[in-house]
Amino acid sequence: MLYINGTWRQAQSGETLTVYNPATGKELAEVASGGRIETKEAIDAANEAFTHWKNTTGLERSTLLRKTAELIRENGEDIAQTITKEMGKSITEARREIISGANYVEWFAEEAKRIYGETIPAPQKDKHLMLMNEPIGVAAAITPWNFPLSMITRKITPALAAGCTVILKPAPNTPLTAIKLFECLDKSGFPAGVANLVIGPAEEIGKEFTTNPIVRKLAFTGSTNIGKKLMKDSAATVKKVSMELGGHAPFVVFEDADIDEAVAGAISTKFVNSGQTCICTNRIYVADEIADEFSTKFAQKANKLKVGNGLEEETKIGPLVNAQALEKVSRHVEDAKKHGGNVLCGGETLDLPGMNGFFYKPTVINEATEDMQIATEETFGPVVPIFSFQTEDEVISKANDTNYGLAAYCYTKDLSRGLRMTRQLEYGIVGINDPAPIAVQSPFGGVKESGIGKEGGRQGMEEYLEKKFISIKY
Ligand code: ADP
């Protein structure tokens, strides 16, 4: 169902799209699929609602958002099961996403009350200078399937907290989680038109978002190529954009690192969400003298991760999202083998009885070289190459040798080296001995072709606010 101007409805054309479970290959649901007409209606409704929503107090907006956070938690198990069914991740990880999704809503509910202005010292006696923060206007958001709940809450809840009205387009394969979130928003009592949901053909909806002059802000998470296209299309109406695009995270292990901690950290950053996150480790660089020990321990652990249907409690690695994802992973592994890579574990698809899903075994490849596809392209799967290095300068230059700049990880017991690495790594997020450098309190975002803008933290609100300068002569 679409949710436009406070009403649940079908598309005018009656068209629907089918949602499948990637673990079983079975159909899950049919949902309404709207296009340009519905998107335009949603934008108009958001525009109308903005006239009063922008004048609500932060406290009013905060109260509604807190209610939404509560409802997400109350319905947590149901939403978690929906996440696992429509995109495959393990139920344990889906439950974690409920917690982080609700925490984002709560964080921005709090921030809604703290939108301050500024007084600026004037250069002359008869002037008073001020800066006011105002909501930017109607905001559109386009989200991917890998975190079907938290990617949405990171965008639409700071928008709502700031006083913007929103239209969301979720990924076509994960609309069910988005619908459940909008049920929570609906029950929270947001006025009609303040939050709208359109599901349907990406290009058509995207075109309306980017060309309609009413939309003042576009927030996107997805592939770099689509992000570039959306930026280009948004240029004609000079929209503010925030882009969370691809990544190619290096994971650097120095000879003085705690090897077991580094192995555990690499396992979690590589295999979370079956390797389908933009901050997943893509390249592991290990100091020469410990490369064999690290690789052996890492491959042993990776090999033990249970692959299966995410709904089974003991599953650690669910299926990949679709056939193209499985094809890409297989292609990267075959290419790595051709270029002399040594497969320490995995390296093949997995057929599970009674299931028709996109399963791939956790795969570790050492003796990796720069000419492998996997060394530069984002794999988005449970596969990782291990490179060895000799000097700090060498590994810095290799780690930075990419157009991406989202997340980087570094393991060392030497804090000075950790600080040097932090300053040298051209990434928006750096984890030193920390495999999970992400929190609702902190800004998430990349540099270079990994994106523009931040999500989360106080900076996440700024994406939806404009600064108005006021000069009063008296
Ligand atoms: P992925 O390969 O991870 O699915 P995409 O960038 O293709 O990444 O998709 C991320 C989001 O962008 C999804 O919601 C998708 O439907 C949407 N999308 C894809 N192509 C376009 C487009 N041309 N215009 C607007 N949105 C798009």
Domain harbouring 299, CATH code? 3.40.309.10
Quick check: is 441 in a domain? no
Given this model, what pLDDT does residue 409 score? Answer: 98
Q: How far is CA 388 from the centre of its chain?
A: 30
Q: Write the DSSP string, 347-385.
A: -SB---TT-----B--EEEES--TTSGGGTS---SSEEE
Residue nearest to atom 9 of ligand 1 (CA): 222
What's at 369, amino acid-wise? T
Given this model, what pLDDT does residue 18 score? Answer: 98
253 and 241, same structural domain?
A: no
| Domain extent at residue 104 | 2-246+448-473
C-alpha of residue 265 to centroid of ligand 1, in Å: 30
206 and 89, same structural domain?
A: yes
> The tokens of 281 are what?
């480790």
**pLDDT of 223-267, one tens digit each?**
999 999 999 999 999 999 999 999 999 999 999 999 999 999 999
Q: Is 246 near ligand 1, meaning CB less than 6 Å away?
A: no
Quick check: is 23 in a domain? yes
Q: What CATH number should be reported for the domain holding residue 13? A: 3.40.605.10
180 and 134, same structural domain?
A: yes
Given this model, what pLDDT does residue 51 score? Answer: 98
Quick check: is 313 in a domain? yes
Quick check: is 136 in a domain? yes
- Residues paired with residue 284 on neighbouring β-strands, in sequence order: 251, 386
- Which position among 111, 208, 244, 463 bears the catalytic label? 244
> The tokens of 82 are what?
């929906």
> The tokens of 270 are what?
């590589």
Collapsing DSSP to helix, strand or coil, 96 comes out as: helix
Residue nearest to atom 17 of ligand 1 (CA): 202
C-alpha of residue 320 to centroid of ligand 1, in Å: 17
Given this model, what pLDDT does residue 309 score? Answer: 97
Quick check: is 438 in a domain? no
> The tokens of 205 are what?
């909806």
Residues 118/131, Cβ–Cβ less than 8 Å: yes
CA nearest to 147, candidates 248, 71, 244: 244
Residue nearest to atom 15 of ligand 1 (CA): 171
69 and 114, same structural domain?
A: yes
Q: Is 324 near ligand 1, meaning CB less than 6 Å away?
A: no
Ligand 1 atom with minimal separation from the 380 CA: 3
The sign of the dihedral angle between the CA atoms of 431, 432, 435, 436 is: negative
Question: What are φ and ψ of residue 302, in 5° steps?
Answer: -60, -40
Q: Locate all alpha helices (DSSP H) within 305-445, ordered by sequence.
A: 323-338, 392-399, 415-424
Q: Which of 226, 229, 234, 450 most suits a substitution to test ligand 1, by most atoms within 8 Å of the C-beta?
A: 226
Spatial distance between the Cα atoms of 170 and 173, rounded to a whole number of angstroms? 8
256 and 118, same structural domain?
A: no
**pLDDT of 402-428, one tens digit each?**
999 999 999 999 999 999 999 999 999
Residue 186 parent element (H or E): helix 175-188
Q: Is 171 near ligand 1, meaning CB less than 6 Å away?
A: yes
220 and 272, same structural domain?
A: no
Spatial distance between the Cα atoms of 375 and 379, rounded to a whole number of angstroms? 9
Q: Is 343 near ligand 1, meaning CB less than 6 Å away?
A: no
Ligand 1 atom with minimal separation from the 206 CA: 25
Annotation marks residue 244 as catalytic: yes
Q: Is 223 near ligand 1, meaning CB less than 6 Å away?
A: yes
**pLDDT of 260-291, one tens digit each?**
999 999 999 999 999 999 999 999 999 999 99
Given this model, what pLDDT does residue 192 score? Answer: 98
Q: How far is CA 395 from the centre of its chain?
A: 27
C-alpha of residue 206 to centroid of ligand 1, in Å: 9
Count CB neighbours of 460 within 10 A.
30
Residues 171/347, Cβ–Cβ less than 8 Å: no
Number of domains in the chain: 2
272 and 229, same structural domain?
A: no
For the chain, residues with pLDDT lower than 70 are none
Q: Is 75 near ligand 1, meaning CB less than 6 Å away?
A: no
467 and 423, same structural domain?
A: no
C-alpha of residue 83 to centroid of ligand 1, in Å: 18
C-alpha of residue 144 to centroid of ligand 1, in Å: 7
Residue nearest to atom 22 of ligand 1 (CA): 203
> The tokens of 341 are what?
């890579």
Distance in angstroms between the alpha carbons of the first and the last residue of the chain: 55
Residue nearest to atom 27 of ligand 1 (CA): 202
159 and 97, same structural domain?
A: yes
The torsion defined by the Cα of 260, 262, 266 and 268, in degrees rounded to 10, comes to 70
Q: Is 326 near ligand 1, meaning CB less than 6 Å away?
A: no
Collapsing DSSP to helix, strand or coil, 471 comes out as: strand
312 and 230, same structural domain?
A: no
Given this model, what pLDDT does residue 293 score? Answer: 98
Given this model, what pLDDT does residue 282 score? Answer: 98
210 and 100, same structural domain?
A: yes
427 and 321, same structural domain?
A: yes
Quick check: is 457 in a domain? yes
Q: What angle do CA 417, 418, 424 make, to 5 degrees?
A: 85
Given this model, what pLDDT does residue 30 score? Answer: 98
> The tokens of 78 are what?
């149901």
Spatial distance between the Cα atoms of 149 and 89, rounded to a whole number of angstroms? 12
C-alpha of residue 325 to centroid of ligand 1, in Å: 14
- Which position among 184, 278, 280, 410 bears the catalytic label? 278
Q: Under 8 Å CB-to-CB from 322, ≥6 apart: which residues?
A: 22, 173, 358
Question: What are φ and ψ of residue 213, in 5° steps?
Answer: -65, -15
C-alpha of residue 223 to centroid of ligand 1, in Å: 7
Q: Write the DSSP string, 186-237.
A: HHHTPPTTSEEE--S-HHHHHHHHHH-TTEEEEEEES-HHHHHHHHHHHHTT
Q: For residue 306, what is the DSSP state?
A: P
How does 290-325 read in b/e, with b if 16+ C-beta sit within 10 Å? Answer: bbeebbebbbebbeebebbbbbeeebbbbbbbeeeb
Quick check: is 106 in a domain? yes
